[in-house]
A and B are shown apart, each in its own frame.
Chain A
């Protein structure tokens, strides 16, 4: 009988400790909230840097989970409450779900790039439209291009915010031809342009400034951080952080820090353009 009582005692202690542990788990999780972010691939480097700095600042009392997928994926995820914040690289569209709040955090330039071996230096708006809508299909028809053969159009998948911004700002609202190869991210697009001598594509100025491709001027204006900051370059778009309703809690603190702190501004100014 003593044995039985001892066993029962041990069991009940084990259960008590176990339930304490289970109760403690959500408690400790609350202590370190996780901000999950998904969305644009173009703003991923910027948001990663900002998050890294913020975590250090807050002495690791907040965690981040940053995924990509494209601006539309970010908008969908935040609208259905799957993530805390969505990264978006285009302006709000009327087709976006209602109730989303867009916080602009930085500006970036969209640069047209070709392979390094193709020394094309400038494209007029009409030339660019003709190339990307698929009317001009051969490099021999493009003055100033040193490549020959078929033009390989490299574009982005339909969820990309950069694609929408590119079409609005530089293609006079027209759509990129469906012949174009669609890459899922900026990095992949740049890789494809680097490997294919006949390729032409468009990336954010961050990727273009990394080198390895030939940056084409648009209407006589080169594409770089300098011309984007001065406002000369035509293809300037914005990065947004999007929340469902006004931002609250840890997400609100993070976005507020991006908008107001000097450290954040320094990070943004390193490769992109501050909003103000």
Chain B
């Protein structure tokens, strides 16, 4: 039999084997979705979709989940997770909006404005920033930025003004948003640079011929032409920001708190939690069935939003097809 295996394979056997291996990869992914959904099902069973809403006291809900082990009563599955969803949306939106602006400006700089020597420095720099592990960002955040914010930026008066509601320690929305922006911007820069460089030169030269200055030509013409790439970059960056767990857990302050913009500057010092960072926070207690379903429900939500993002990105790019530039 080994003899048969050693002889050169006929094409149909090779095709079927390779196809089977590829199929198994696909099945693995399907298995992932199925397993996560099965584990998350009890939360949906007991709450329907209302667990996405707010109004409850998350600390006590999760405390009850952790306290019930073998046969939890239905009340243990009660969950109102809005603070987490709000925290996730807040950090993601701030980071992506800031990051997109910075990315567009940086790519214009790198592709159009930078002298060649600086450009040759900037490209490896971008690649470096994109590949730094998130735990190192978290380390710098928690050892440098958080003490800086806590000791030098938060005044005693500000602390006292919220002392009956929450404690300000420096770890909070501001540091989280800054580090998250730095983390996801390089990905966006890489994509937009590539697209800018590949944009048709003739369009821009036409604009310049009509009297626009070179920078304005880029802004008016090329940027619009690479809109599909910008959308792709934003989608990729949002997916990365949504899934960031460890770095956010290190610098976000770890409270089920919804930072309120009406608080002014204090808004940026208030702690929060996101879906992914909560999974890291509570994973040790995963033995409690109610808590396990909750964590898997968070994971399912993250999985679903990553999937919805790529579909949404595809839909947004459809009407932009007429530009037919690579991206």
Q: Interface residues, chain A, CB within 8 Å of chain B?
A: 3-4, 7-8, 11, 38, 67-70, 72-73, 75-77, 79-80, 82, 95, 97, 134, 137-138, 148-153, 158-159, 178-182, 184, 192, 195-196
Choose among A11, A68, A134 the residue that contacts B2 (Cβ–Cβ < 8 A): A11
In the complex, what residues of B have CB within 8 A of residue A82's CB? 287
Classify chain B's interface size.
20 to 34
Q: In the complex, which residues 288-306 of chain B have their Cβ closer than 8 Å to any Cβ of chain A?
A: 288-289
B2 to chain A, nearest CB (A): 5
- Measured CB to CB, the nearest residue on chain B to A73 is B285
In the complex, what residues of B have CB within 8 A of residue A152's CB? 167, 169
Q: B277 in the interface, Cβ–Cβ < 8 Å?
A: no
Max chain A C-beta neighbours (<10 A), residue from B1, B2, B69, B160:
B69
Q: B263 in the interface, Cβ–Cβ < 8 Å?
A: no
A18 to chain B, nearest CB (A): 16
A150 near B284 with CB under 8 A, answer no
Given contacts A3-B3, A152-B169, contact A179 B164 (CB under 8 A): yes
Q: In the complex, which residues 236-294 of chain B have their Cβ closer than 8 Å to any Cβ of chain A?
A: 254-255, 281, 284-285, 287-289
Given contacts A11-B1, A153-B167, A181-B167, contact A79 B66 (CB under 8 A): no
Q: B121 in the interface, Cβ–Cβ < 8 Å?
A: no
Q: In the complex, which residues 45-65 of chain B have their Cβ closer than 8 Å to any Cβ of chain A?
A: 59, 62-63
A179 to chain B, nearest CB (A): 6
B59 near A158 with CB under 8 A, answer yes
Whole-angstrom distance between the alpha carbons of A4 and B156 in the complex? Answer: 85
26 contacts between A and B (CB under 8 A): A3-B3, A7-B1, A7-B2, A38-B284, A72-B66, A76-B66, A76-B69, A77-B287, A80-B70, A80-B287, A80-B289, A95-B67, A138-B163, A149-B160, A150-B163, A150-B167, A153-B167, A158-B62, A158-B63, A179-B165, A181-B167, A181-B169, A184-B281, A192-B169, A195-B147, A196-B169
A67 near B284 with CB under 8 A, answer yes
Whole-angstrom distance between the alpha carbons of A181 and B284 in the complex? Answer: 19
In the complex, what residues of A have CB within 8 A of residue B156's CB? 148-150
Q: B166 in the interface, Cβ–Cβ < 8 Å?
A: yes
B169 near A69 with CB under 8 A, answer no
Q: B39 in the interface, Cβ–Cβ < 8 Å?
A: no
Whole-angstrom distance between the alpha carbons of A148 and B287 in the complex? Answer: 43
In the complex, what residues of A have CB within 8 A of residue B288's CB? 73, 76
A72 near B285 with CB under 8 A, answer yes
A136 to chain B, nearest CB (A): 11
Whole-angstrom distance between the alpha carbons of A38 and B288 in the complex? Answer: 13
Whole-angstrom distance between the alpha carbons of A71 and B40 in the complex? Answer: 25
Max chain B C-beta neighbours (<10 A), residue from A70, A137, A158:
A158
A179 near B3 with CB under 8 A, answer no
Choose among B66, B159, B254 the residue that contacts A149 (Cβ–Cβ < 8 A): B159
B285 near A76 with CB under 8 A, answer yes
B67 near A79 with CB under 8 A, answer no
B164 near A137 with CB under 8 A, answer yes
Q: Is the interface of A mostly helix, strand, loop or mixed?
A: mixed
Apart from the given pairs A3-B3, A7-B1, A138-B160, 10 other A-B contacts in the complex at a CB distance below 8 Å: A72-B66, A73-B66, A77-B287, A82-B287, A97-B70, A137-B163, A137-B164, A159-B67, A179-B166, A184-B281
Per-position binary interface string of chain B over residues 224-236, scored 1 when its CB falls under 8 Å from any chain A CB and 0 otherwise: 0000000000000
A178 near B59 with CB under 8 A, answer yes
B167 near A4 with CB under 8 A, answer no
In the complex, what residues of A have CB within 8 A of residue B163's CB? 137-138, 150-151, 179
Whole-angstrom distance between the alpha carbons of A257 and B255 in the complex? Answer: 42
Choose among A80, A178, A192, A195 the residue that contacts B69 (Cβ–Cβ < 8 A): A80
Whole-angstrom distance between the alpha carbons of A80 and B69 in the complex? Answer: 7
Whole-angstrom distance between the alpha carbons of A158 and B167 in the complex? Answer: 18
A7 near B66 with CB under 8 A, answer no
Whole-angstrom distance between the alpha carbons of A148 and B156 in the complex? Answer: 9
A80 to chain B, nearest CB (A): 6
B285 near A69 with CB under 8 A, answer yes
- Measured CB to CB, the nearest residue on chain B to A137 is B163
B257 to chain A, nearest CB (A): 10
Choose among B3, B164, B169, B285 the residue that contacts A159 (Cβ–Cβ < 8 A): B285
In the complex, what residues of B have CB within 8 A of residue A181's CB? 167, 169, 255
In the complex, what residues of B have CB within 8 A of residue A72's CB? 66-67, 285
In the complex, what residues of A have CB within 8 A of residue B2's CB? 7, 11
Whole-angstrom distance between the alpha carbons of A95 and B163 in the complex? Answer: 33
Q: In the complex, which residues 150-187 of chain B have their Cβ closer than 8 Å to any Cβ of chain A?
A: 150, 156, 159-160, 163-167, 169
In the complex, what residues of A have CB within 8 A of residue B287's CB? 73, 76-77, 80, 82
